[in-house]
Amino acid sequence: MRRGSSGGEPAAGREADVGAVARAAAPAERVGVDAGVDAGAAGEPEREAPEEPRAERARGRPRVAEEGDAPGVPRPPPPAPRAQPQPARARGLRLHREPPGKGRGCRRSSGSPADEVCSPRPVTVDSSKARTSLDALKISIRQLRWKEFPFGRRLPCDIYWHGVSFHDNDIFSGQVNKFPGMTEMVRKITLSRAVRIMQNLFPEEYNFYPRSWILPDEFQLFVAQVRMVKDGDPSWKPTFIVKPDGGCQGDGIYLIKDPSDIRLAGTLQSRPAVVQEYICKPLLIDKLKFDIRLYVLLKSLDPLEIYIAKDGLSRFCTEPYQEPSPKNLHHVFMHLTNYSLNIHSGNFVHSDSTSTGSKRTFSSILCRLSSKGVDIKKVWSDIISLVIKTVIALTPELKVFYQSDIPAGRPGPTCFQILGFDILLMKNLKPILLEVNANPSMRIEHEQELSPGVFENVPSLVDEEVKVAVIRDTLRLMDPLKNKREKQSQPHKKPLAGKEGPSDCEPAGTSDTNPNPEAHLPSICLKQVFPKYAKQFNYLRLVDRMANLFIRFLGIKGSMKLGPTGFRTFIRNCKLSSSSLSMAAVDILYIDITRRWNSMTLDQRDSGMCLQAFIEAFFYLAQRKFKMLPLHEQVASLIDLCEYHLSLLDERRLVCGRSSTAGVRPPGSSTPQGATPSVQQVEGHPPCCTNSAHKSSRPRHALS
């Protein structure tokens, strides 16, 4: 009822109020990262869409989605709009597949005849796979006056909204709200590994993630390291939290005081886990532990573009917090902030206000902290740093997934994704990363027990306020027709006929009359933080540059692992072998590291060297070559060297290419060795090209 009465803009008005409160609460000075970003709130709770099954991920091209992929609660489809009968969709068929040539060019709508001849048309969104985000998505589309296709569409849509993963549907054009591989990347083990690589390179910068060990592989290491620290400091009484890999909603999580308390029997082999230092001194509000769900938009991987929502959610525990002791270790309502758990506590408080109850807006928390004299600009800027650094840790492998699923030069959609960052504030206000969710819950209603045993879904004001704004403004940022609409809103004579159906040419609400089609919308709630703060963080992107090298030598399109020939070619082309590093030693290095990593990782279908194994080999080579330097300088020096040699090689090949086009084959020119890509292939991966060409000619220090 509330939603209906709120019509097109209600959430907007409320959002503006919250933003104003947060801004009013924010002190003027800027700390760390330019705190010009509005102090916002964040944090959220509950049910995440289930993980995409690993084994389902197809290589090389997207697979056809199956309804059964996501055991999340599917919603009954809304009735089909009369004007748009969707018979094929009703039969579950996907008929929108276009000939490859249409692909991305079509989406960009830059100059195709259809684009030119249509009057401003609404952006089209396929919401048929939106699942639990459907309600918030519908409201967003309505506010934007775009066109929803709830049952899919025979023709391509501009935007596809998936509830679970990139592979929910078979798409070859447009934009999709998931990156391939994101679900894998944010699993607890993968995230821990990715952050650990960064911690090895930049320990200070990455101390926002609790020290973690991967079980069962690192159980002995865990035991040994804990014993070592305890021997050095007998007063150290740590607590650890054990979290099953791929788990969510607090499922299977427990606290321990000693490594010997880990429940090794049975479960770990079948279900690996991460064991992590437990943050014993969280910031409390009303004596309760709480965490923050912050929404982050990864708008683009290359170039990297990150936005953060100004407000998020805070989820509260429902039992007053005490530091962990053997007596209270099992009190989940005291230690775990998951909404899905605490909702079952008798103490859970539903509230219609955004600043009270067990789920609140983060801006209301900041406001409260500010009133107590806390420097909330500093808190917010620390959170932004945490988010940027975490994304920097995730992107290298995401690029490997991306080129595998959407190889350069083949038709495919472009991707963006809303991520849910779960962050804990320590008592000293330092933000700690708990986890990243690839499918943060976008539900805007919650279950309420009306009478004993009788439950009903009721709208949740706080969820709607935060989540609708995030989805709507994500769509606004991704709007593929924005430029065109702006141009067309300037008066000019419109051509008559369009290639697409009449419904596609319906005017988008205000476009014809209103020079600013977004005038009815509130200011955008997503703030760009990258590349805005790129200068401060680019020096951290070493693994990204290593991933570019790795991808360059992958050879076969769609592969994610480097074969022995590719690795040898990398060594040769980068001139890394020497009298002290023979090619035989290179082969042994490849075999040793690859074998170990393949025995550790779950995905053993492809043989070859994965990115993490390549990084380990790279670290080894860097340490050999540049002794006595700190690791990050050794690695940076080796990257510079590799990029330098590869840029020379590219230049030589360009010259050779030109000469051979002119019918002259210069002496000594030969076919590229092994898996080395041709110049054209390299050009298909702008990062390699750009990095080699630019960075090698710059001193390394320019990066920082």
Name the site residues for ligand ADP (rule: CB under 6 A): 210, 241, 243, 247-251, 253, 276, 278-279, 291, 336-338, 422, 424, 434-435
User: For ligand ADP, which is the closer residue by CB, 25 or 317?
Assistant: 317
In the complex, the smallest distance separating the C-beta of residue 465 from ligand ADP, rounded to whole angstroms, is 21
Strands 526-530 and 305-309: antiparallel
Token pair for 252: 């299977």
In the complex, the smallest distance separating the C-beta of residue 321 from ligand ADP, rounded to whole angstroms, is 10
Token pair for 135: 């309600």
User: For ligand ADP, which is the closer residue by CB, 291 or 473?
Assistant: 291
- Alpha-carbon distance of 540 to 530, in angstroms, equals 13
User: For ligand ADP, which is the closer residue by CB, 424 or 468?
Assistant: 424
Contact 414, 158 (CB under 8 A): no
- Alpha-carbon distance of 356 to 328, in angstroms, equals 26
- Computed on alpha carbons and rounded to an integer, the radius of gyration of the chain in Å comes to 26
User: For ligand ADP, which is the closer residue by CB, 139 or 296?
Assistant: 296
Q: What is the DSSP letter of 115?
A: H
- Alpha-carbon distance of 642 to 75, in angstroms, equals 52
User: For ligand ADP, which is the closer residue by CB, 109 or 314?
Assistant: 314
Q: What is the dihedral of CA 473, 475, 477, 483, to 10 degrees?
A: -130
In the complex, the smallest distance separating the C-beta of residue 588 from ligand ADP, rounded to whole angstroms, is 39
In the complex, the smallest distance separating the C-beta of residue 580 from ligand ADP, rounded to whole angstroms, is 43
Q: What is the DSSP letter of 483?
A: H
**Can the peptide bond before residue 234 be classed as cis, meaning omega within 30 degrees of 0?**
no
User: For ligand ADP, which is the closer residue by CB, 65 or 466?
Assistant: 466
In the complex, the smallest distance separating the C-beta of residue 478 from ligand ADP, rounded to whole angstroms, is 27
Number of H helices, E strands in the chain: 24, 19
Contact 170, 98 (CB under 8 A): no
In the complex, the smallest distance separating the C-beta of residue 513 from ligand ADP, rounded to whole angstroms, is 48
User: For ligand ADP, which is the closer residue by CB, 175 or 441?
Assistant: 441
In the complex, the smallest distance separating the C-beta of residue 473 from ligand ADP, rounded to whole angstroms, is 25
Contact 139, 10 (CB under 8 A): no
In the complex, the smallest distance separating the C-beta of residue 296 from ligand ADP, rounded to whole angstroms, is 15
Token pair for 50: 């289930």
In the complex, the smallest distance separating the C-beta of residue 43 from ligand ADP, rounded to whole angstroms, is 10
User: For ligand ADP, which is the closer residue by CB, 442 or 617?
Assistant: 442
User: For ligand ADP, which is the closer residue by CB, 286 or 606?
Assistant: 286
- Alpha-carbon distance of 452 to 553, in angstroms, equals 62
User: For ligand ADP, which is the closer residue by CB, 115 or 291?
Assistant: 291
In the complex, the smallest distance separating the C-beta of residue 332 from ligand ADP, rounded to whole angstroms, is 9
In the complex, the smallest distance separating the C-beta of residue 241 from ligand ADP, rounded to whole angstroms, is 5
User: For ligand ADP, which is the closer residue by CB, 120 or 210?
Assistant: 210
- Alpha-carbon distance of 517 to 508, in angstroms, equals 8
Is the alpha carbon torsion for 101, 105, 110, 116 positive or negative?
A: positive
User: For ligand ADP, which is the closer residue by CB, 37 or 341?
Assistant: 341
User: For ligand ADP, which is the closer residue by CB, 333 or 380?
Assistant: 333
In the complex, the smallest distance separating the C-beta of residue 274 from ligand ADP, rounded to whole angstroms, is 8
The DSSP element (H or E) to which 612 belongs, if any, is helix 611-625
In the complex, the smallest distance separating the C-beta of residue 212 from ligand ADP, rounded to whole angstroms, is 8
- Alpha-carbon distance of 682 to 458, in angstroms, equals 53
- Alpha-carbon distance of 247 to 192, in angstroms, equals 14
List of residues 6+ apart from 369 with CB closer than 8 A: 376, 379
Which segments of 383-477 are extended strands (E)?
414-415, 417-425, 431-437, 445-451, 454-459
- Per-position DSSP letters for 177-229, written without gaps between them: S--TTHHHHTSHHHHHHHHHHHHHH-TTTTTTS--EEEETTTHHHHHHHHHHH
Contact 184, 394 (CB under 8 A): no
